[in-house]
Amino acid sequence: MIHAATTSHSDALDRFITVYTSLRKDNLSTLEEIYSEDVVFEDPAHRIEGYDNLSRYFETMYANVTDCRFDIHDHAVNGEVAFISWTMTLSHPKLEGGAERAVNGCTRLVLKEGRVILHRDYFDLGEMLYEALPVLGIAVRIIKKRLGQ
């Protein structure tokens, strides 16, 4: 039975990757294929409980960005836990005049019965958001540079 569960989790991860690499404003409904109804989603700025709330979050996010896409680099499954490394490329009209920004990150997923029950993203929120803001961006870059010395 362990092999069947591993195969199921591997299939769920493959579905997750397929959905995220093709995710756009016009196909957000594909998210329901990968998440459980009681999913918990966390990133450096949010904690969202339940698929309905997560769906609304994605609708709002994609309505506000000009473009957002994910390139998957590596992934692995260990039992019911999966990890993915990725680059998110996004453009938002209020960040650097809508220029594209690339943010590297990784995701930890917990899978159950072929669906994601926990999704936790890890990325540098400063890189994604704060560094793109006019005054704050300069301060964040200076702080990061000083921390690196």
User: Residue 130: which pLDDT band, with cuts at 50, 70 and 90?
Assistant: very low
Average pLDDT over residues 38-63: 94
Provide the residue type at 143 as one letter: I
Task: Residue 112: give its domain's CATH number.
Answer: 3.10.450.50
Q: What is the CA radius of gyration of the chain?
A: 17
d(CA 128, CA 125): 5
Q: Is the whole-model pTM more than 0.85? A: no
d(CA 104, CA 85): 8
| Structural domains of the chain, count | 1
d(CA 61, CA 71): 18
d(CA 19, CA 67): 16
The confidence score (pLDDT) of residue 1 equals 38
User: Residue 48: which pLDDT band, with cuts at 50, 70 and 90?
Assistant: very high
Q: Indicate whether 75 belongs to any domain.
A: yes
Residues with Cβ within 8 Å of 141's Cβ and at least 6 positions away in sequence, in order, are 131
Q: Indicate whether 139 belongs to any domain.
A: no
User: Residue 90: which pLDDT band, with cuts at 50, 70 and 90?
Assistant: confident
The domain of 60 spans: 2-123
pLDDT at 101 over 90: no
User: Residue 126: which pLDDT band, with cuts at 50, 70 and 90?
Assistant: low
Mean pLDDT taken over the chain: 84
